[in-house]
Chains A and B, each alone.
Chain A
C-alpha cells in the first residue's frame, strides 16, 4: 500500500520533471534556438509553448524586437575638412537567430561589432559630404546611405538594420567658441546697421520736413507776391479807367493832392517868390475882373 503510494508519487515527480524538461515557452518578444550538445537542431520563431527532447536539448533565446544600439560621440572629419562630433544610433532586429548565434552569439558581441561598422561607415560617408549638407535636408539621404552600407556589411550576422540615425552632430568645443564669437560679431553688425538706418531715416525725415517747410513758405511767398501783383494790376486798371476820362484834370488833381501830402507833415519848408500866383494879392489888390 505504502509502497504503491510511494511509487505513484515517484512516478508523478518523474513525469513532472520530464514534462518540464521537454516543454518550453517562447515569449512574444523572443525567438529561440534548440541545440543538441551545442549543435543547432531547430529555429523557433513562433512564440508559445514548444516541445524538445528532454535533457539532451537546450534552448537559447534571442530578442525578436527592434533593438537600439547607440554610438556615442565620435569625431569625424567632413569633406570640407571641418570636424564634427556625431552621436548616432542604429535600430536593428535579429532576423536569423542561427546566423546571429554563429557569428557573434551575445548582445555585447553584436553591439561592439555594429558600433565599429556604423562608425566606419559614418566616417566614410560623412567624409564625402560638406557640413552644410550634413546639417541640411541631405541629412536624410546620408543616413539612408549609411544604413545601406551597414546593412550590407552586417549581412552575415543574421541581423537587419532598419535605420541608422544621426542623433547629434555638434562642432568641437573650439569651433563652438568661434561660432559664438561670430554670432556675437554678426549681431553687433546688425545692431549697428539698425541704429545707423534709424539715424538715416531720422535725418531723411528731418531733411524732408525742412524742405517741405522751405517749399511751403516759398510757394506761399510766390503766391502772396502774385496776389499783390494782381491787386496792383487791378488797382491800376481801376485808376486808369477812372483817370482816363479826363487825364488833364487828373494831372491837376493828383498834383494838388501830392502837394498837400508833401507839405502836410509840418516839417517841410516852402520858399516862394512873391510873383507866385497865389501870392499875387499880397502885391496888388484884387480887381473884380480877371487879369
Chain B
C-alpha cells in the first residue's frame, strides 16, 4: 500500500519542470497544444497526459549565408557555392550575410513548420539572390548595401509571416561584399586609377597654383613699373615746364641780355667738353688731315659746310689739351 502511494507520488513529481529565463514552457495535453508557462518552477500533469516543450524564445539566432564561422579559429570559411551570385547587370559578386532571428511565436515555431531553422536559411538565401539579382554590381559594392540589407530583411520577414513560422527576423547584416577573388585585382586597379587621376589633377593644380600667382605678380610688376614711368614722365615734364617757366620769366625781363648770356654759356660749355676745331675754308688742303681715327663726331657736318665768306683768313686752331698732336696748326 505504501509502495503504491510512493509510486503515485513519484509519478506526480515527474510533472515538475523548470523553465529557464530565456525559455518559454509550451504544454501539450495528449499531444495537443494546451497552454504556455513562464520561466520558473512549473508542474504539468505527468506522462502520459501532458508533456512540455521548452523553446528558447529570447535567444537571437544567427544564420550564415556564404560562409561558416568557426569559433575555434579566427576568420571564416568561405562557401563559394552560397556566396557567389549573379547581379542585375550579369556580373558576379561575392557576398556573405548574417541573418539574425528569434522566435516570435513559440507555438507557431514549434508546430507549424518542419525544420524552421533550415527554412530561414533557404528563404533568406532566396531573398538575397532575388535582391542582388535586381541590383547592378557597382551600387551593390558601394552605396546600396544598406538598401540590400533592408530589402532582404523585409522580404524574408514577409515570407516567414506568410508561412506562419513564428519567426522574427531581427537583423540582416552584410558581412562581405566583394568582387569575386579572380577579378578583385582589376577592381583594385580601378581604385588605383582613380587615385592616379586624382594625383594628376592635383599635380596640374599645383602647377597652376604655382604659375598663375607668379604671372599675377609679374603683371602687377609690369603695371607698377609703367605707373612709375608715367609718374616719372609727368614729373619730368612738370619739372622742365617749371624750369622753362622760370627761364622764360627771366627772359621776359631782359630778352637780349638773357639770350646772349644763354648763347655764350652754351658755347662755352660745348667748347670745354668737345674737341673743337676751327677751320678756315680757305685752307683747302687741310681737310684730309683731320684726325679721323677718333670717333667721327656727328655734329661736325652741321657746321663744316662753311660759307664762302669774304673774311680774313683764320689764324688759329683751338684744340683741347691732352689730345694727341693735331696735324693742323699751320695757318698763321
Point out residues on A near B: beta carbons under 8 Å: 25-30, 46-49, 63-68, 70, 89, 91, 131-132, 134-137, 139-140, 162-163, 165-171, 176, 179-180, 183-184, 187-188, 190-192, 194-195, 197-199, 201-206, 208-210, 212-213, 216-217, 219-221, 223-228, 230-232, 234-239, 241-243, 245-246, 249-250, 252-253, 256, 259-260, 262-276, 278-279, 282-283
- The CA of A168 and the CA of B91, in the complex, are separated in Å by 15
Question: Do residues B126 and A135 form an inter-chain contact, with CB atoms below 8 A?
Answer: no
Closest Cβ neighbor of A168 among chain B residues = B129
Residues of B close to A221: CB separation below 8 A? 222
Question: A67-B114, A199-B200 are known contacts. Are A259 and B266 too (CB-CB below 8 A)?
Answer: yes
Of A70, A235, A275, the residue contacting B122 (CB under 8 A) is A70
Main secondary structure of the interface of B (DSSP, over half): helix
> Would you give the shortest CB distance from B71 to chain A, in whole angstroms?
27
Question: Do residues B125 and A167 form an inter-chain contact, with CB atoms below 8 A?
Answer: yes
- The CA of A197 and the CA of B163, in the complex, are separated in Å by 53
Residues of B close to A238: CB separation below 8 A? 234, 237-238, 241
Q: Does residue B1 face the partner (Cβ distance < 8 Å to A)?
A: no
Q: Does residue B279 face the partner (Cβ distance < 8 Å to A)?
A: yes
List, sorted by A's number, 10 A–B pairs whose CB atoms are closer than 8 Å. Answer: A165-B122, A166-B126, A183-B179, A183-B183, A212-B212, A263-B270, A269-B297, A274-B280, A275-B306, A276-B278
Residues of B close to A67: CB separation below 8 A? 114
> Would you give the shortest CB distance from A185 to chain B, in whole angstroms?
8
- The 8 A-B pairs at the shortest CB distance, nearest first, are namely A198-B197, A231-B230, A269-B297, A224-B226, A220-B219, A235-B237, A242-B241, A209-B208
Question: Do residues A262 and B248 form an inter-chain contact, with CB atoms below 8 A?
Answer: no
Question: Do residues A202 and B200 form an inter-chain contact, with CB atoms below 8 A?
Answer: yes
The A-contacting residues of B in range 290-316, CB under 8 angstroms, are 290, 294-300, 303-304, 306-307, 309, 311-316
- The CA of A283 and the CA of B311, in the complex, are separated in Å by 10
Residues of A close to B225: CB separation below 8 A? 224
- The CA of A169 and the CA of B81, in the complex, are separated in Å by 11
Question: Do residues B163 and A66 form an inter-chain contact, with CB atoms below 8 A?
Answer: yes
Residues of B close to A68: CB separation below 8 A? 114-115, 118-119, 122
Q: Does residue B54 face the partner (Cβ distance < 8 Å to A)?
A: no
Residues of B close to A192: CB separation below 8 A? 193
Question: A198-B199, A249-B251, A283-B312 are known contacts. Are A228 and B222 too (CB-CB below 8 A)?
Answer: no
Q: Does residue B17 face the partner (Cβ distance < 8 Å to A)?
A: no
Question: A220-B223, A225-B226, A278-B267 are known contacts. Are A65 and B111 too (CB-CB below 8 A)?
Answer: yes
